[in-house]
Structure 1
Amino acid sequence: MKESEENFILRRAEISDQVKIWDILQQAVQRRKNDGSNQWQDGYPNSETAIIDIQNKVGFVFEKDNEIAGYAAIIFDVEPAYENIEGKWLSEGEYAVIHRVAVSERFLGQGIATELFLKIEDFVKSKQVVSIKVDTNFDNVQMLKILDRLKYSYCGEVHFRGSPRKAFEKILS
């Protein structure tokens, strides 16, 4: 599966991408720490996370000019933590979940995360799914800005590993 527009490609991650994905995830973990965020400061994600995503065929890399610029897990399955939202989702039907969004340090400030989300939205629509649900930490300012910019609606709180998270949904048109 490849989707291309200009010099951006969203493709399913391969096991050979694992080292680069882990490097990008580690950079994102450090950025969260440097920003004073509690997100991803508890040993998750770890080096096995990308391998499991790849094996489960939910890991995707975002390439710019043939170089991996970002990573995300796109899951077309029920997210158990989303079943107990303190609030209300916009829809109750089939949805895609986006987890573990991370951008390489080399590509920061280039709008890569926004482009990645737009490609994910196109990919999800191509699967005839019209809802994307995502969550983030209350103090992940960068992700909150992206979700606002792309018109994701705040729906309430969900809990992951004992911590509350802001939950968002977007109905794709």
Structure 2
Amino acid sequence: MKFITASYEHIDRMCEITADAKRQLKNLGLDQWQQGYPSREVWLQDIEDKCAYLAVEEGEIKGIFAFQTTPDPSYKVIDGAWLTDGEYASMHRVCVASGCKGKGVAGKMFEKGFGMAREAGFPSVRIDTHPGNLPMQRALGKAGFTACGRIHLVGGCEDGHLRIAFEKVL
């Protein structure tokens, strides 16, 4: 599996994968990603910011994630405690294409994010997910993330929504 920085030519497939993920979350009875996020506009901004990455195998996009190196306002206040203080990288909008789940794609994307964070000198990677998103929580645990507490999202259409915050020390 190789990883490439997403470009505008990938946006339609990125949106298809995201729409599938939204349907799967809805089928789990979750409100996560059911209010318009992540949208085409969010992915376009990620492409412009060069922070959207694609997991590609045999010419097919198997997964997408955003990798960010600026502080996330949602992570400023936590009911719990982060494992590290100071700078961190974060991963967001992690999606695996339908038909590719359970094949290690998410784990490979996390490993790529860990490598990018190490290369940039960050001591850890943070991420969050819905309390009811058990498939993602299992994937995070398998990748070595530790649940650190609860946060509330800041900004956007999911402002105030509760999430479980995770961190992986590199």
Normalising by the smaller structure, the TM-score range is over 0.9
Partner residue in 1 for 2:156: none
Over 2 Å off, 4+ runs: none
Gaps of 5+ in 1: 1-7
Q: Output the CA distance in 2 between the equivalents of 1:47 and 1:54.
A: 10
Alignment deviations for residues 143-173 of structure 1 (CA, whole Å, 9 cap, x no partner) = 100111122111111111111100010111x
Q: Output the CA distance in 2 between the equivalents of 1:113 and 1:66.
A: 17
Q: Shift in Å at residue 34 of structure 1?
A: 0.9
Q: What's the TM-score, normalizing by structure 2? A: 0.93
Instruction: Provide the secondary structure at the position in 2 that maps to 1:108.
Output: coil
Q: Output the CA distance in 2 between the equivalents of 1:20 and 1:50.
A: 11
Gaps of 5+ in 2: 154-158
Tell me the number of residue pairs that the alignment of Structure 1 and Structure 2 aligns.
Answer: 165
Q: Output the CA distance in 1 between the equivalents of 2:5 and 2:55.
A: 9
The correspondence for 1:25, drawn from 18, 21, 31, is 18
RMSD of aligned Cα (Å): 1.1
What letter is aligned with 1:68? I
The correspondence for 2:29, drawn from 36, 50, 67, is 36
Q: Output the CA distance in 2 between the equivalents of 1:10 and 1:140.
A: 25
Alignment deviations for residues 106-148 of structure 1 (CA, whole Å, 9 cap, x no partner) = 3122121111111221122122222100000001111100111
Partner residue in 2 for 1:13: 6
Percent of aligned pairs with the same amino acid: 33
Partner residue in 2 for 1:71: 64
Q: What's the TM-score, normalizing by structure 1? A: 0.91
What letter is aligned with 2:164? K
